[in-house]
């Protein structure tokens, strides 16, 4: 990249429903309904949004029970702004929260998609295989 770095701003809050749904889709994550996002986003334990000129270009969240279990979800950067360190900034902010707030023994987990595992490894996350595997169940009402 040439020239000055864009003036990104990191906000310690979850994105709006519109930005959340948009960022998931443009970053290639599975779409979430507005209905689901309206219920889920207010239950965020720790949210981060990165904006450029007021527009959301990246996000990440931690959800969980605030004691025993936490999950890192929705790590996504607009493809036009990837590979500029935003993913690392988002993860660093989320892990700041963990360092400050999570009690001894808390278990922080995530499902790493593709090359994102390299990002999470930088923050101390380790594969749980072969002893364990991630498993998931998706609700379908259509
Ligand atoms: C994963 C994602 C959030 C990373 O965001 P980003 O802003 O591009 O990441 P950064 O520029 O901060 O790079 C972070 C680190 O991740 C690693 N990384 C990111 N993409 C990588 C890739 N395609 N291959 C290998 N390593 C990669 C690198 O180690 C990099 O660190 P380095 O620059 O010091 O080598 C972004 O690529 C994205 O939104 N992907 C699509 C959605 C997604 O898959 N989210 C994760 C779901 S689990």
> Looking at the domain assignment, is residue 42 inside a domain?
yes
Q: Containing domain of residue 26, as a range?
A: 9-121
Question: Which mutation among 87, 88, 95, 134 tests ligand 1's pocket best, with the greatest number of atoms within 8 A of CB?
Answer: 87
> Looking at the domain assignment, is residue 102 inside a domain?
yes
pLDDT band of residue 141 (cuts 50, 70, 90) is: confident
CA of 142 to the centre of ligand 1 (A): 33
Q: Is the CB of 118 under 6 A from ligand 1?
A: yes
Q: Is the CB of 85 under 6 A from ligand 1?
A: yes
> Looking at the domain assignment, is residue 89 inside a domain?
yes
pLDDT band of residue 1 (cuts 50, 70, 90) is: very low
> Looking at the domain assignment, is residue 94 inside a domain?
yes
> Looking at the domain assignment, is residue 82 inside a domain?
yes
Task: List the CATH number of the domain containing 55.
Answer: 3.40.630.30
Number of domains observed in the structure of the chain: 1
* 60-75 residue pLDDT tens: 999 999 999 999 999 9
Question: Which mutation among 50, 79, 88 tests ligand 1's pocket best, with the greatest number of atoms within 8 A of CB?
Answer: 88
Q: Is the pLDDT of residue 9 over 70?
A: yes
In angstroms, rounded to a whole number, what is the distance separating the alpha carbons of residues 78 and 74? 12
> Looking at the domain assignment, is residue 1 inside a domain?
no
* 15-64 residue pLDDT tens: 999 999 999 999 999 999 999 999 999 999 999 999 999 999 999 999 99
Residues near 46 by beta carbon (within 8 Å), at least 6 away in sequence:
12, 61, 62, 94, 97, 98, 101
> Looking at the domain assignment, is residue 84 inside a domain?
yes
> Looking at the domain assignment, is residue 135 inside a domain?
no
Q: Is the CB of 109 under 6 A from ligand 1?
A: no
């Amino acid at each position: 990249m040439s020239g000055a770095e864009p003036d990104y701003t990191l906000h310690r809050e979850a994105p709006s429903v519109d930005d959340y749904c948009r960022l998931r889709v443009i970053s290639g994550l599975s779409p979430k309904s507005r209905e689901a996002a309206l219920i889920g986003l207010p239950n965020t334990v720790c949210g981060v949004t990165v904006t450029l000129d007021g527009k959301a270009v990246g996000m990440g969240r931690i959800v969980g029970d605030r004691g025993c279990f936490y999950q890192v979800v929705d790590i996504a950067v607009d493809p036009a702004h990837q590979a500029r360190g935003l993913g690392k900034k988002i993860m660093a902010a989320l892990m700041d929260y963990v360092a400050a707030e999570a009690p001894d023994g808390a278990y922080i987990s995530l499902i790493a998609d593709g090359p994102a595992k390299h990002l999470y490894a930088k923050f101390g996350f380790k594969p749980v295989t072969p002893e364990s595997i991630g498993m998931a169940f998706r609700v379908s009402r259509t």
